[in-house]
Amino acid sequence: MYLQHFGLRELPFSLTPNTQFFLNMASYHKAYNMLMVSLANAEGFIKIVGEVGTGKTMLCRKVLNTLEEDKESYVTAYIPNPVLSPKGLFLAFAEELNIEIDQDVGHHRLLKAITEMLVEYSAQGKQVVLFIDEAHAMPEQTLEALRLLTNIETEQIKLFQVVLFAQPELDVLLSQPSLRQLRQRITFSFEIEALDREGVERYVVHRLATAGYNGPFLFSKRALDFLFRTSDGIPRVINILCHKALMVAFGKGERTVQIDHIKNAAEDTEGISFPSSNYMPAMIAVGGLLIGAAVVFYLSRLYL
């Protein structure tokens, strides 16, 4: 759409968690290091919590990719949708471990197959790490079943580790007395924070550069100020607003993103509240109309 106009190789603000765009900033750097050290020490449960859109899945994929590069030391399992029954969780874990087993297998045989595979990996000197994304969505019974599953261990070591990525609702869930044993198993936890103003600028510059941009700075200072206040430093919201702002700038034939482009993008995005009391809707057209006009402008260029 606007790639050629701005000299980009690919879309810089896609919502797909592409680890090529991972930015090793303070909060993510601390979380990443904590995860790697904890996994190296074979800790039990590790918990990473962050608000919606703060980059938990990106961090999860980054750690997964790092461990998968060391196939001699680690075996990884990844469950992105843990809204499962206890047996469903065990079957998903078994599938990730490449265990061939019937879906209607009994609980005892299923647990035995998982145990045998974990023991085999341990004998090979490999650590098994189970990553569960969106862990706040897990039913309480499934969380408790996961705790019981981690009882599989030898006299010397645990046979696998669990890393939970979740929204803060997981902490509320874990505060229930019925899950106190699982709560005590969590040896390390970390909360991912939103980006500050400097972080937002670094984030935007990094994603543009990674996407192939090498010209003068594409976003004005005022545009970035407004982007920070409007997005609250949430990476997913930043991506949405920047993508739409680039569409608006392209539609107008302009080479830099100004504050009005960000305002247009925010006007077109549900759930965005304008932080500035001096924002005047009359000063800008409705965001949806402008972005629609950008698309029409783009299509007209194709057929010229």
Q: What is the pTM of this model?
A: 0.85
- The residues, any chain, with a CB within 8 Å of residue 90's CB and separated by 6 or more, are 107, 110, 111, 114, 145, 149
Q: Per CATH, which fold does 197-302 belong to?
A: Helicase, Ruva Protein; domain 3 (1.10.8)
287 pLDDT higher than 50: no
Please tell me the distance from the alpha carbon of residue 282 to that of residue 284, in angstroms, as a whole number.
6
The ranges assigned to domains in the chain are 26-192, 197-302
Predicted confidence (pLDDT) per residue in 91-142, tens digit? 999 999 999 888 888 989 999 999 999 999 999 999 999 999 999 999 999 9
Predicted confidence (pLDDT) per residue in 266-286, tens digit? 999 988 876 654 444 433 444
Q: Where are the alpha helices (DSSP H) in the chain?
A: 3-6, 26-40, 56-68, 86-96, 107-123, 140-149, 169-174, 180-185, 197-210, 221-231, 235-251, 259-267, 287-302
Q: Per CATH, which fold does 26-192 belong to?
A: Rossmann fold (3.40.50)
